[in-house]
Amino acid sequence: MESIPNCPKCHSEHTYHDGTFYVCPECAYEWDPNQATEASDELQVKDSNGNLLADGDDIILIKDLKLKGSSTVLKKGAKAKGIRLVEGDHEIDCKIDGMKIMLKACFVKKA
């Protein structure tokens, strides 16, 4: 018997082989064992201290940031709640003072 890894999504042990795929009957997740690196391929965003950020985290600005195309300056110490991580140059999608903005993770720290 070959050993089948636990489900990467729900960690169920009741996974089985179906053709070239592994299948989890508990959460219906299917994955290709030849792309086993997929799980570690997840978006990893680190703050200025090297801490991993996750969706829903609260962050604090560590420096004043001038908003592009406006005279608004976001102050150091401003807090954003419930951030969302996105791919790209500015990895953090959040709201500060009611404004929807995109931030670079290197300018924030986890609250």
Token pair, residue 61, equals 């600005």
| Best CA proximity match to 49, nearest among 60, 64, 65, 41 | 60
Q: Is 36 or 99 the residue whose CB approaches Zn ion more closely?
A: 36
- What CA–CA distance (Å, rounded) separates 111 from 107? 13
> Which residue stretch of 8-16, 52-60, 84-92, 99-107 sits at the interface with Zn ion (rule: CB under 5 A)?
8-16
> Which residue stretch of 12-20, 33-41, 61-69, 87-95 sits at the interface with Zn ion (rule: CB under 5 A)?
12-20
- Is residue 7 involved in binding Zn ion (CB under 5 A)? yes
* Interface pick for Zn ion out of 22, 24, 65, 91 (rule CB under 5 A): 24
Distance between alpha carbon 46 and the CA centroid of its chain, in Å? 9
- What CA–CA distance (Å, rounded) separates 30 from 11? 13
Binding residues for Zn ion, rule: CB under 5 A, are 7, 9-10, 12, 24, 26-27, 29
